[in-house]
Amino acid sequence: MAAMMQPQIILLKEGTDTSQGKAQLLSNINACTAVADVVRTTLGPRGMDKLIHDDKGNVTISNDGATIMKLLDIIHPAAKILVDIAKSQDSEVGDGTTTVVLLAGEFLKEAKPFVEDGVHPQNLIRSYRTACNLAIEKVKELASSIEGKSLEEKKSLLAKCAATTLSSKLIGGEKEFFASMVVDAVIAIGNDDRLNMIGIKKVPGGNMRDSFLVNGVAFKKTFSYAGFEQQPKKFVNPKILLLNIELELKSEKENAEIRLSDPSQYQSIVDAEWNIIYDKLDKCAQSGAKIVLSRLAIGDLATQYFADRDIFCAGRVSEEDLQRVAAATGGTVQTTINNVIDEVLGTCEIFEEKQVGNERFNIFNGCPSGTTATIVLRGGADQFIEEAERSLHDAIMIVRRAMKNSTVVAGGGAIDMEISRYLRQHARTIAGKSQLFINSYAKALEVIPRQLCDNAGFDATDVLNKLRQKHALPSGEGAPYGVDINTGGIADSFANFVWEPAVVKINAINAATEAACLILSVDETVKNPKSESAQGEAAAGAMGGRGGGGFRGRGRGMRRR
């Protein structure tokens, strides 16, 4: 009997945690559903906000799916995938981060009963991918283009896209005010793809309506020295010199040793230092520039020198602000003040230093190149302004996307209901199990309008039945109908200007399906233990502990015997 017993093979290190099979897959699905439930209530114009405070005591109030997912600090390995898709949606399109997490969670929820019944996950994955491709084709077919319109028309259409995005945010009450501001900012930067060309400066105090857009650059007054108050604070059409050099009186600091045979020579060395700085300052003044900005310090000697000559100067300007001033005014940052020609100087219509709240701001208005804009945000609490900035970032991204890919679809759950109807119809033409899987995918898409109703306190079943009936009309006139947040019924989203760029929906469906398929394809999780001995050996190896005999490693006091 003993001879027949198989020897036990130990493959993985002791303490390795492995879980596999159907139970593992269901556990992963449950974890993802739990994550989706966290952000579920933030969807739509009536969505609630989340208050997250971390171990450092920082408090964040946010409605933005990606921000919440980042701050949640999720440790479940499968649920982390949902964090990644929210981040990718945020960086790719800017909005729809809650949508993408909700969809992925719902796809998995719909797949769960099939998995429990013993369906092989690969069959589900295949059907989901097919359904995803069909859904994306349908979105493209339903999208309307806003190309070829005049600038005024285009502005109002883009403002409607921005207003749809902002309606679900904390600043939704002022969405028209901010939507037009965002559109002006995006049009100001034109075809420049760099997002940092739109600066957002936050100044606590005042109310939201005190926020304003600068058609150029604005930044907080920098550290200033004696003599600064004597400088003029307003210029019309000034020349602007941008530097990356220190204008300070510097003594030799590298322990330079100078041997003198005669004490009278000492004065000539001191004079040489003064001459160097005065030479630099003279060249700045001779260039004709009325505003001198530098990334490095401008000392008190230089500040007083410029004040005597009616020149404004600011030192220690941040790299980002200096680059934006360069892009806006057409100047070039100089690393030397020799041979400063007119071509490297920038200009703007009006420069002034202005009080905003309790801060002084340097504002460059009417810049010739028109590739930058700055939004100065006002508001009460710091957390409120932070959230307003995140909301504006979403709106800016959406308007940029809508300008590049100028196709929009109806929002308010309309597009989701239409795709759902289309997929249900398509499923009937398929024989075999995949008919059921595609049907469940179609059902999952209804989570968006359902959640919009739930968050607004409406009867979701009632509204969804009305929507299904409207979308099932053979004429196809019901396609743009979505949830009417104001009345609790249904309305034509397209006619009510509840629009979103088609690229948002396409990206969301794609990313959510990818994530769901990825999680469904995992059937085992292996967690390796980090034992002390393993780490010890690795440290000894890293220090060359496997070299010649008699080596004693410093790390963790290991010794080679």
Strands 346-347, 291-294: pairing is unpaired
Distance CA 419, CA 103 (A): 13
Distance CA 420, CA 290 (A): 63
Three-class secondary structure of residue 293 per DSSP: strand
98 is catalytic: yes
Instruction: Classify residue 523 as left (phi > 0), alpha (psi -120 to 50) or beta.
Output: alpha
Catalytic residue among 33, 42, 60, 64: 64
Catalytic residue among 90, 95, 321, 394: 394
CA 532 to chain centre: 39
- Phi and psi at 373, nearest 5°, equal -150, 155
342 is catalytic: no
Residues in a beta bridge with 491: 482
- In eight-state DSSP terms, residue 358 is T
Catalytic residue among 98, 99, 164, 222: 98
Catalytic residue among 42, 60, 67, 97: 97
Q: Which residues contact 298 (CB under 8 A, 6 or more apart)?
A: 225, 246, 247, 248, 292, 313, 314, 315, 316
- In eight-state DSSP terms, residue 49 is P
Three-class secondary structure of residue 291 per DSSP: strand
282 is catalytic: no
Q: Which residues contact 374 (CB under 8 A, 6 or more apart)?
A: 198, 199, 200, 201, 213, 214, 216, 217, 218, 219, 324
Q: How is the beta sheet containing 499-501 ordered, strand by strand?
A: 144-145, 407-410, 499-501
Report CA torsion sign: 147, 150, 151, 157. Answer: negative
371 is catalytic: no
CB neighbour class for 19 (10 Å; exposed up to 12, middle 13-18, buried from 19) = middle
**Annotated active-site positions, please?**
64, 97-98, 394
